[in-house]
Amino acid sequence: MNTILYATDYSENSIAALHFAYALSKELNAELMALHVFDLPLTLASTISYTYSRREVRAFGDHREKLIAFCNEHLRNENEPLAITWKVDEGKPVSEVIIKNAKELEVNLIVVGTRGGSRIKEVFLGSTTSALINSAPCPILAIPEDADFHGIRKMVYATDFEGTDIFAIEKTVELAEPFEADIHLVHVSTKPRHTSEDQMEWFRNMLRHKVTYENIQFELRFGDDVFLTLQEYVDEIAPDLVAMLEREGHSLIKSLRHRDLVKRMKSEGHLPLLSYHKKNVVV
């Protein structure tokens, strides 16, 4: 992993994401870029106005100073000068501007904070984070505001036994290896046991041809309610991070929005969530 992009709106929920992104960049010896996207409202004929041009230049400078001050304030306990590259950009929607920068900078991971809300669409992930997961060219690591980084010793990857899962697991291994972390591959099944066990064996054999990482454990769980069973497993394992693959037309996160997310996925709501999208995980 060469470059990590941390995107912030200066809110409380982005502070934990900053600590996580900075710690990861040091552990992985990756470049960290901090990005803030702001909106400069247009007025009539402002695009050709000299006054507006000066205002735009001043806004970029002000937001750059604010971004640097925000990171310095919340990383003030670091013993060395901050190894961060600063970037500000203007436009909306914010997710599209972040994606534009991610593509231009060829980043390998985007780290953002998550927030809950009273509106259904923002209960599990903020709307910007959800849009990033759907469109970003790289994985998204969403960090809850109450998360603390203490290294990565244990990860859970929820699999549906798809071939694309193997590519996502390869990328997960790239993150796990520097920490020598255990990866627990779990599948929750509502099918008969013998059918699921056959699928698990097939998937295990397929994975062995692609991934040589030794710290991988395979888990098969059964339950009529996939989401409740997954939540119980996460509670039991207590990982430092949960990873999953987003699929076109079949999204675990989107499906969860139709349920009582806060209660049903309580434990996951307090864990970093690493999301890959099927359309860009295959290399």
pLDDT digits (tens, 9 = 90+) for 224-237: 887 778 888 988 99
Going from the N-terminus, what domains does the chain have, and what CATH number goes with each? 3-143 (3.40.50.620), 154-281 (3.40.50.620)
Instruction: State the average pLDDT for the chain.
Output: 81
Helices 94-105 and 127-135: crossing angle, nearest 10°? 40
> What does the angle CA 21 – CA 160 – CA 134 come to, to the nearest 5 degrees?
45
Instruction: Choose between 187 and 283: higher pLDDT.
Output: 187
Instruction: Choose between 250 and 220: higher pLDDT.
Output: 220
Reduce the DSSP state of residue 197 to 3 states and report it. Answer: helix
pLDDT of 252 over the 70 cut: no
What's the token pair of residue 62?
């002000």
DSSP secondary structure string, 65-123? HHHHHHHHHHTTT-SS---EEEEEEE-SSHHHHHHHHHHHHT-SEEEEE----SSGGGS
Instruction: Choose between 262 and 222: higher pLDDT.
Output: 222
Confidence of residue 52 (pLDDT cuts 50, 70, 90): low
Identify the CA nearest to 182 among candidates 172, 192, 190, 191.
172
Lowest-pLDDT range, 77-86, 126-135, 215-224, 261-270?
261-270
- Residue-wise pLDDT for 20-32, tens only, equals 999 999 999 999 9
Confidence of residue 189 (pLDDT cuts 50, 70, 90): confident
pLDDT of 177 over the 70 cut: yes
Q: Determine the pLDDT at residue 251.
A: 44
pLDDT of 184 over the 70 cut: yes
Identify the CA nearest to 261 among candidates 250, 249, 253, 251.
253
pLDDT of 256 over the 70 cut: no
Q: Determine the pLDDT at residue 262.
A: 29
Confidence of residue 250 (pLDDT cuts 50, 70, 90): very low
Q: Determine the pLDDT at residue 122.
A: 39
Instruction: Choose between 164 and 256: higher pLDDT.
Output: 164
- Residue-wise pLDDT for 114-173, tens only, equals 764 333 333 334 567 777 877 888 999 988 888 888 889 999 998 888 888 898 999 899
